[in-house]
């Protein structure tokens, strides 16, 4: 990545991402919001997605949180911009690229695929429309977003591409067939992008040095696991906590800090990897 800034940010944090631009899908709450705070606290400009105008107050509160972090410093807080879209919108990739052009002159250094379509329809109960919806939101849309940004040459050298995956892709529970399948696809996509963008292919020379990785997350204290009701939530907890080396829920910040590491210059040699960040429930050897 470009030359590191030695200017200090909130809590004396180095502004190593100053001037860089990150696209993060789903920044209003949970892990996505924590990732936005982590990167913005290091000077990164943020373009995040939200699903409707009803989410705008959450974006506004995120902006205020970042401004508060910087209020006693001698430089301004980085901007937080948003674009409203659904992962199943046919024009999602163009909407993000157009928003980047309008807000950040068509530049992106970091892409974090955080948002996901979640559906726990079990084996034996699948419906074609729901399967297609998950494949569209979790596989086709991120692929088309990245492709649009590549075609427009918005990515910079030494960029970072990160997919938030799930331990469900390894657990392979029958009640999570399509979710596990789409997350496994994201992991394969990261490996393909790592091979494409590292610098061996002349057509991608403009973004040489770019890394791509997936992050294998586990049970986290976010709204996601609770959307399926208390019974399912307790089942998640009873399954995962005994299998973790660190027996507790992950906080959003636990995950965001690992994403932040992968976005740093120090992680420049990590690419094409499935990085385990789940408290030890899934060991990758």
- Cβ atoms of 161 and 196 closer than 8 Å: no
The per-residue pLDDT for 198 is: 98
Q: Read off the pLDDT band of 5 (50, 70, 90).
A: very low
Where b means 16+ CB within 10 Å and e means fewer, 71-98 reads eeeeeebbebbbbbbbbebeebbebbbe
pLDDT band at 174 (very low <50, low <70, confident <90, very high): confident
Q: Per-residue pLDDT averaged across 165-173, rounded?
A: 87
pLDDT-based confidence at 284, cuts 50/70/90? confident
Domain residue extents for the chain: 10-222+251-277
Residue 285 has pLDDT above 70, yes or no: no
Task: Look up residue 250 and give its DSSP letter.
Answer: B
The label of the residue with tokens 């973790």 reads 244
Length of the chain: 285
pTM for this predicted structure: 0.94
Position 67 scores a pLDDT of: 95
Count CA within 13 A, CB hemisphere, residue 120: 13
**Residue 268 — very low, low, confident or very high, per pLDDT cuts 50/70/90?**
very high
Q: Is the pLDDT of residue 50 over 70?
A: yes
Question: What band does 51 get if pLDDT is binned at 50, 70 and 90?
Answer: very high
**Angle, vertex CA 161, rays to CA 30 and CA 193, nearest 5:** 140
DSSP-derived 3-state class of residue 46? strand
> If we measure between CA atoms, which residue out of 134, 136, 206, 146 comes closest to residue 177?
134
Q: If you average pLDDT over each of 20-29, 116-125, 212-221, which comes out highest?
A: 20-29
User: 133: alpha, beta or left, given left = phi > 0 and alpha = psi -120 to 50?
Assistant: alpha
**8 Å CB contact between 50 and 84:** yes
Task: Identify the band that residue 120 occupies on the pLDDT scale cut at 50, 70 and 90.
Answer: confident
The answer for residues whose C-beta is within 8 angstroms of residue 234's C-beta and 6 or more apart is none
pLDDT of residue 73: 85
The pLDDT of residue 226 is 67
pLDDT single digits (tens) 58-89: 999 999 999 999 998 888 999 999 999 999 99
Number of helical H runs and strand E runs in the chain:
10, 7
For residues 81-99, give the mean pLDDT: 97
pLDDT over 90, % of the chain: 79
Q: Rounded to whole angstroms, how far apart are CA atoms 9 and 119?
A: 40
Q: Which of 104-108, 151-155, 235-239, 262-266 has the lowest mean pLDDT?
A: 235-239
Question: In the beta sheet, which residues pair with residue 160?
Answer: 110, 211
End-to-end, the C-alpha distance of the chain in Å comes to 28
Q: What are phi and psi of 14, to 5 degrees?
A: -65, 140
10-222+251-277 topology per CATH: Rossmann fold (3.40.50)
Instruction: Report how far residue 117's alpha carbon sits from residue 133's, in angstroms, rounded to the nearest whole number.
Output: 8
- pLDDT given for residue 221 in this prediction: 81
pLDDT over 70 for what percent of the chain? 94
Average pLDDT value over all residues in the chain: 92
Find out whether 246 and 279 touch, Cβ atoms under 8 Å: yes
Residue 4 has pLDDT above 60, yes or no: no
């Amino acid at each position: 990545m470009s030359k590191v800034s030695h200017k200090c940010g909130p809590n004396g944090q180095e502004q190593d991402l100053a001037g860089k631009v990150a696209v993060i899908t789903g920044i209003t709450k949970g892990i996505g919001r924590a990732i936005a705070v982590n990167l913005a606290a290091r000077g990164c400009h943020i373009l995040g997605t939200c699903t409707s105008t009803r989410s705008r107050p959450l974006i506004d509160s995120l902006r205020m949180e970042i401004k508060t972090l910087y209020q006693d410093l001698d430089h301004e807080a980085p901007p937080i911009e948003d674009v409203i879209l659904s992962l199943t919108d046919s024009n999602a990739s163009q909407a993000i690229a157009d928003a980047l052009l309008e807000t950040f002159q068509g530049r992106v250094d970091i892409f974090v695929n955080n948002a996901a379509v979640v559906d726990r329809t079990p084996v034996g109960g699948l419906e074609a429309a729901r399967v297609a919806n998950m494949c569209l939101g979790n596989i086709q849309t991120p692929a088309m977003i990245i492709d649009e940004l590549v075609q427009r040459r918005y990515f910079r050298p030494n960029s970072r591409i990160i997919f938030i995956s799930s331990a469900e892709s390894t657990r392979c529970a029958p009640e999570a067939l399509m979710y596990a399948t789409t997350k496994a696809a994201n992991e394969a996509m990261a490996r393909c992008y790592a091979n494409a963008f590292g610098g061996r292919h002349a057509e991608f020379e403009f973004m040489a040095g770019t890394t791509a990785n997936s992050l294998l997350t586990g049970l986290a204290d976010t709204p996601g696991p609770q959307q399926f009701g208390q019974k399912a939530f307790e089942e998640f907890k009873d399954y995962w906590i005994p299998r973790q080396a660190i027996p507790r829920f992950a906080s959003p910040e636990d995950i965001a800090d690992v994403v932040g590491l992968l976005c740093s210059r120090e992680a420049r040699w990590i690419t094409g990897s499935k990085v385990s960040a789940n408290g030890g429930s899934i060991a990758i050897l």
